[in-house]
Chain A
Amino acid sequence: MTQGVSVRILTSKAVHEQIEKLIDEDIIIRKDETRGKFQIRIVDMLHQQQRQRLQSKVSILIVDSKLCLVEDLEIYNKNENSNGTISLATYSNSESTVLTYISIFETLWAQTELATQRL
């Protein structure tokens, strides 16, 4: 049963394909990409320069524009003895912090839309 939450995901093409398999539905990456309220955009469409600026070792999750969790994936593999159990994440409800990550997300979201329109 759906709950009416809008879900937007920015990710790579490879991850997108995996998500489609996972949820067993096609999510069309075009202007009409919306499938219900579940939208995915592909960062691979961005210019190379833009992609290089993107910190690829960080995952961002923002919920209801009120809470954010940013996970650094880099640290995970650095510790060979951790058996994959060490990570680093910051979790905040600070308005300024959440707004900063929203701004990053929305900028990338808009850029991928422009890139999609160029196709």
Chain B
Amino acid sequence: MNETGSFPSYSPLPPETTEVLYGNENIQRKVLESFSWVKEELDGCIESDVLSMTVIYDAIWNGFVELKKKGVKLRSITEVTPDNISYVKKSMDLFETRHTTGLRSNFGIVDKRECLLHSVSHEDQPLSHAIITNAKALVEAQYFLFETLWKNAIPAEEKIREIEEGMKPQFTETFRDHLQIQKVVLDLVNSAKQEIRMLILPSSRSTNGFLSEEREQVITQSFKKR
């Protein structure tokens, strides 16, 4: 809060500042302070077992509700698990949420101008340490990290369906490692139960200009499956 007892309408941190915060209260106060001046977007990464905190703590949750009412775009990335699925569903009332497996990071970025990274201990003070910064280069780097995670994450709805209904999620992956591609091709052929369709055209890859050794392996495996 500022001297008049109200929250500022802009980041109170002096430009290019980085601070370390200790203790639950300090960190929560800083988070709520940020809520007061955010205008456009709030992006956050939250570990699976930390997500409940954002839903359970009334002050934080109500802050999110107010942001939503103001028209702030809210995005979050977390790991959806059977244990936190109810919290994920609750947070999806306000946030566009995506899932990424094994996420290990807790941070929030406000209007691409300020970033708060926090660690979580599960003792009496869940929010024990945090770093808050508005240093342009640091915030940009963290925002880039968020966007990269966001692009690679899947919609939380998909993961929820997978957990609740046992539906296998759709995926499209890109491989650049030649050995990995070869392994996937052979695994695919070996997994076939009904039908294999192949379009193979002369490859400049092989020394003889036609079938590479890898392709030969695929053909012989397919022939055995017929």
Contacts and interface: CB of A to CB of B under 8 A. Distances in A.
- The answer on A and B forming one complex is yes
Contact of B181 (A19, A62, A89): A89
Given A22-B220, A23-B223, A5 B205 contact: no
Interface in B36-62: none
Interface in A28-49: 36-38, 43
B226 interface: yes
Interface residues of A, number: 56
In the complex, the 10 A-B pairs of residues with the closest C-beta atoms, listed nearest first = A92-B172, A5-B225, A60-B199, A62-B197, A38-B226, A87-B178, A37-B226, A6-B195, A11-B200, A89-B181
B226 A5 contact: yes
Contacts of B174: 88-91
Interface majority SS on A: helix, strand, loop or mixed?
Answer: mixed
A64 interface: yes
B6 interface: no
A50 interface: no
Interface majority SS on B: helix, strand, loop or mixed?
Answer: mixed
A103 to B, nearest CB: 11
B191 interface: yes
11 contacts: A9-B199, A10-B198, A11-B199, A12-B202, A12-B210, A19-B219, A22-B220, A56-B202, A89-B174, A89-B184, A90-B172
Q: Which of B205, B219, B223 has the most CB of A within 10 A?
A: B223
B220 A23 contact: yes
Interface of A: 1-12, 14-15, 18-19, 22-23, 36-38, 43, 54, 56-65, 67, 69, 71, 73, 76-77, 84-95, 97, 102, 104-105, 108
Nearest to B174: A90
A57 to B, nearest CB: 8
Interface string B199-218: 11111110011110000101
B188 A69 contact: yes
